[in-house]
Structure 1
Amino acid sequence: MTKGMTASARTAPARTPAPATPARGGRRRTRPGRLGLHAFLMTVSLAFLAPLLLAVYASLRPYEETAEHGYFSLPRHLSFDYYKQAFSDSGMSKYFVNSLIIAVPGVLLTLFFASFVAFAVSRLKMRGGLILLMVFTAGNLLPQQVIVTPLYVIFTKIDLPYWMSDSMTLYDSYWAVIAVQVAFQVGFCVFVLANFMRTLPLEILEAAVVDGAGVWTQYWRITLPLCRPALAALGTLQFTWMYNDFLWALVFVSDGDKLPITSALNNLRGQFFTDYNLLAAGSVIVALPTVLVFLILQRHFIAGLTLGASKG
């Protein structure tokens, strides 16, 4: 009996000791490098948020208080009176509509044209596709201010029907601002979408071709749904840029009733005195739609930014 036990004990595999479990309540040691990285990221984030936070803080305080004690002093009185005054005195409701009339069609047209060109360049076997992509990318290097005067002269000579423009020309119409925004933003979107479409499996389109899908079906029903994160990220950026733009509307629109929301802030500036706390409240109101768009598309926007960060 003893010999049998000793023999089985010899042949039994040795058991490895179980790893020691940390005591309850114990914490993992944080590396100094990670602490330094977090501290750096927090510092950079606060540096970017500092102007916005200061504007929000100033918009809640009376101008007399900040003039006497300074903008970095403790508040004595906080209220939303400046927001009500800024919205009513500047007529923002009308300018909000003008900005949406420019930004929404501009974003949709930009994404449609850019996705169509990117699909042709990256997925179809066409000659000169790389050269075409380089041309679209090089268009982003052209300073926009250089062609302000030529565009102004051209737009004043392009006739439009009355139902499209009160001035009967492309100048002093929403179409002029939309056309310029689309023309300058398509190149960047083509570059991003073409690089993303190249990462899509080519076997998907080959299977669609075998099933009899045409070019439009391959583009509209197969490729575009796969590009939803990239389109959401680009749509967020494009809406922000077009919504906040002031140069093109100032150049190509002479009617004050057609100006975008960014021009409404000028109505809050007095001839001899400017209440900067009131101006800060107006700036916060103007920025709210872009923040709302980002919150709605936040998940897709972050997914679009991380595209291509890892493979496999």
Structure 2
Amino acid sequence: MFPTPIQKSARWAQIGYKLLLPMALVLWLLPLIGVAVTSVRPAGDLAAGNYFGIPSSFAGVENYTAVFQNSPIGWYILNSFKVTIPTVIGAVALSCLTGFALAVYNFRANLLLFFMFIAGNFIPFQILMVPVRDMTLKAGMYDTTFGLVLFHVAFQTGFCTLFMRNFIKGLPFALIEAARVEGVSEWKIFTRIVLPLMRPAIAALSVLVFTFIWNDYFWATVLVQGQHAMPVTAGLYALNGQWVAAWHLVSAGSIIAALPPVLMFFLMQRHFIAGLTLGATKG
């Protein structure tokens, strides 16, 4: 049912694994390495067609300084935090409640509601572009941070509910039954017993949702036009010139924009791994 661990595989399989793994890692990192090298490449190299060669000189300080001088990237990053942090709080908080209800209470429409949350994850988000844009226009939330946050919370709650419901299902139900026998209210069962046990899952889910929302480009361009609410992923376009694409500046801006989710992951790494692997083994 499960693949054989590589340590127990045949000798030829172990050798092939050791050879192919570094190659796959390099291929996966190649675009990231290309962006990092381009971010320190002088503009003259790009004009001369030196896209993939060794940079003629190091222009990292000039490029990264120009990113802050030629665009309001600091404001864009602040907008991204204004969108991402409320979305993470809203989606995780709602999913804790819905996941608890779907995992603990056996009402008639339980399975139907759970399938509805799952079905929302299978809808291609591109087909929602026109109706969502029209809805935000009619509600007066188009080109606002609040409208973008509200959409992301609604769209992410389905995945978060799936995650939380399955996590709570793996908790020992005897704890909840014992609390009910003692006369503890359902709200206190959730806040005093279940919620503390959900901390690893909340941490893991927060990192995932933070990364999803921070890196969003599609909805940032569909639902926002003005710089007052534009996240950094869409705001990087401002680094391009009117006639020439300044790829060295766009690459430098991309590196800057990628730092917050990377830092978020390393700060929450222990909780993130614990949340993903909790319940993976018995004993």
**Could you say which residue in structure 2 is the equivalent of 1:130?**
111
- Structure having the higher helix fraction is 2
1:217 to 167, 177, 188: 188
What secondary structure is seen at the aligned counterpart in 1 of 2:91?
A: helix
What secondary structure is seen at the aligned counterpart in 1 of 2:228?
A: helix
**Could you say which residue in structure 2 is the equivalent of 1:191?**
162
Aligned length: 273
Between stretches 302-311 and 66-75, larger displacement belongs to: 66-75
Between stretches 65-74 and 220-229, larger displacement belongs to: 65-74
Confirm or deny: 8 A CA contact 2:220 2:233 kept in the other structure. no
Structure 2: how far apart are the matches of 1:233 and 1:42?
Answer: 27
Sort the Cα spacing of 1:39 and 1:208 in 2 relative to 1 into closer, same or farther, 3 A. Answer: farther
Confirm or deny: 8 A CA contact 1:193 1:230 kept in the other structure. yes
What amino acid sits opposite 1:64 in the alignment? Answer: G
**Could you say which residue in structure 2 is the equivalent of 1:23?**
none
**Could you say which residue in structure 2 is the equivalent of 1:121?**
102
Normalised to the residue count of structure 1, the TM-score between the two structures is 0.81
**Could you say which residue in structure 2 is the equivalent of 1:178?**
149
Sort the Cα spacing of 1:63 and 1:290 in 2 relative to 1 into closer, same or farther, 3 A. Answer: same
Q: Deviations over 1:174-208 (max 9, x none)?
A: 12111111111111111111111111111111222
**Could you say which residue in structure 1 is the equivalent of 2:198?**
227
**Could you say which residue in structure 2 is the equivalent of 1:272?**
243
Q: Deviations over 1:137-174 (max 9, x none)?
A: 0011112222222222222222xxxxxxxxxx222221
1:71 to 47, 51, 75: 51
**Could you say which residue in structure 2 is the equivalent of 1:39?**
19
| Structure 2 residues not aligned, in runs of 5+ | 1-9
What amino acid sits opposite 2:35 in the alignment? Answer: A
Q: Deviations over 1:253-309 (max 9, x none)?
A: 233221111122111111111221121111111111111111111112222232343
Q: What's the % identity of the aligned pairs?
A: 38
Based on CA coordinates, which of the two structures has the bigger radius of gyration?
1
What amino acid sits opposite 1:184 in the alignment? Answer: F
Confirm or deny: 8 A CA contact 2:76 2:235 kept in the other structure. yes
Q: Does 1:236 align with 2:207?
A: yes
Q: Deviations over 1:240-263 (max 9, x none)?
A: 111111222322223322111112
Normalised to the residue count of structure 2, the TM-score between the two structures is 0.89
Confirm or deny: 8 A CA contact 1:120 1:126 kept in the other structure. no
Confirm or deny: 8 A CA contact 1:102 1:178 kept in the other structure. yes
| Structure 1 residues not aligned, in runs of 5+ | 1-29, 159-168
What amino acid sits opposite 2:134 in the alignment? Answer: V
**Could you say which residue in structure 2 is the equivalent of 1:82?**
63
Between stretches 43-52 and 189-198, larger displacement belongs to: 43-52
**Could you say which residue in structure 2 is the equivalent of 1:207?**
178
Structure 2: how far apart are the matches of 1:251 and 1:66?
Answer: 31
Q: Deviations over 1:120-148 (max 9, x none)?
A: 01112322211111110001111222222
Which aligned runs of 4 or more in structure 1 are off by greater than 6 angstroms? none
Q: Does 1:152 align with 2:133?
A: yes
Q: Deviation of residue 44 (structure 1)?
A: 2.1
What secondary structure is seen at the aligned counterpart in 1 of 2:65?
A: helix
Q: Deviation of residue 219 (structure 1)?
A: 1.4
What secondary structure is seen at the aligned counterpart in 2 of 1:133?
A: helix
2:88 to 90, 100, 107: 107
What secondary structure is seen at the aligned counterpart in 2 of 1:258?
A: coil
What secondary structure is seen at the aligned counterpart in 2 of 1:43?
A: helix
Q: Deviation of residue 60 (structure 1)?
A: 1.3
What amino acid sits opposite 1:62 in the alignment? Answer: P
